[in-house]
Amino acid sequence: MSKRHIARKRFGQNFLVDQNIIGKIVNSIGAAPGQTLIEIGPGMGALTDPLLETGADLLVLEIDRDLAETLELRYSKQSNFSMLCGDALKFDFSDPSLPEQYRVVGNLPYNISTPLIFHLLAYKNRIKNMVFMLQSEVVDRMAAEPGGKEYGRLSVMVQYHCNVERLLNVPPSAFRPAPKVMSAIVALTPTSTAQADKKLDDALAAIVRAAFASRRKTLRNNLRELLPEQEIEACGINPGARAETVSVSEFVLLAHALRGSDHVTQEMS
Ligand code: SAM
């Protein structure tokens, strides 16, 4: 980029400079001509260049107006490039102008990575796959098994909707400016079991949110407003257990029980 840019902390700007890491992300997303790819946070174009070279139609979402202006100047003549300057958290990934299926990629701004992942899960039926650079600790939480402190709402919701594959750990030296923490590349592939059952999805979201609301409390207490103790037991789950010991498939049983019950919450409607 010709214009000098001073990295903005509030936009989580840590630009990738390691060509091996850039290559790994681009290869992992697996884009090809005729396909559509959405890049979140193109920044100064470290991934944008090689992503455009795949021949895929690339839509980039960038919040920083200065960077967007420079990107526009640089890429607008390429027929497979388009850009929206705005907040990816507010982007409607079900926009009718998008094809039925697309891939999503990015070195995500760490300050919004978790809400962004939840936002994207709502569109999982449209998404073929996702590859992201994230804080290593966030990938740990996504991939965590029941029983530990890393296992929580993010783990259950991501694992219910997607296959999670940790691809590579990435040191701070791969970025400018270097972040203070380790990063990791993760591949998320929406699963076929994650059907388009909106009611079940909503029930699961409500159950998981409530179950982890207070990690020290039992399911019996955290789910008091949603499911009576007998229904938790009828799922073969101990109401005295804590959420962090409950597996994803057990949460799905609880979600089925909630969907089938009269205990419909505000959150679900
Ligand atoms: N892709 C570039 C790279 O790898 O060098 C930049 C990655 S940098 C970690 C994150 C990028 O996301 C920045 O360009 C930042 O301005 C942009 N960004 C931050 N918040 C955003 C948001 N809410 N919506 C869209 N882009 C955002």
Tens digits of per-residue pLDDT, 98-111? 999 999 999 999 99
Residue to substitute in 63, 84, 135 for testing ligand 1 pocket (most ligand atoms within 8 angstroms of CB): 63
What residue type is 215 in one-letter code?
Answer: R
Tens digits of per-residue pLDDT, 240-267? 999 999 999 999 999 999 998 744 444 4
What residue type is 119 in one-letter code?
Answer: H
Which residue's CA is the nearest one to ligand 1's atom 18?
41
Which residue's CA is the nearest one to ligand 1's atom 6?
43
- Tell me how far apart the alpha carbons of residues 253 and 236 are, in angstroms, rounded to a whole number: 9
Alpha carbons within 13 angstroms on the beta-carbon side of residue 93 total: 27
Q: Is the CB of 64 under 6 A from ligand 1?
A: yes
CB atoms under 10 Å from CB of 213, counted, come to 13
Amino acid 266: pLDDT? 41
CA of 112 to the centre of ligand 1 (A): 10
Residues 6+ positions from 223 with CB-CB distance below 8 Å: 207, 210, 211, 232, 254
CA of 80 to the centre of ligand 1 (A): 20
CA of 109 to the centre of ligand 1 (A): 5
Burial class (CB in 10 A: 0-12, 13-18, 19+), 125: middle
Q: Is the peptide bond before 177 cis (omega within 30 degrees of 0)?
A: yes
Torsion (CA) 121, 122, 127, 128 in degrees, nearest 10: 50
CA of 40 to the centre of ligand 1 (A): 6
The alpha carbon of 50 is separated from its chain's Cα centroid by a whole number of angstroms, namely: 22
Q: Three-class SS of residue 95?
A: coil
Nearest ligand 1 atom to alpha carbon 64: 16
First CA to last CA distance, the chain: 47
Which residue's CA is the nearest one to ligand 1's atom 21?
63
Q: How far is CA 179 from CA 1, 40, 143, 269, in A?
A: 21, 19, 22, 41
Amino acid 194: pLDDT? 53
Tens digits of per-residue pLDDT, 219-246? 999 999 999 999 999 999 999 999 999 9
CA of 41 to the centre of ligand 1 (A): 3
Q: Is residue 258 within a helix (H) or strand (E), and if so which, with residue range?
A: helix 248-260
CA of 196 to the centre of ligand 1 (A): 30
Is the model's pLDDT at 215 over the cut of 70?
yes
**What confidence tier does 196 reach under pLDDT thresholds 50, 70, 90?**
low
Q: Is the CB of 140 under 6 A from ligand 1?
A: no
Nearest ligand 1 atom to alpha carbon 87: 24
CA of 197 to the centre of ligand 1 (A): 32
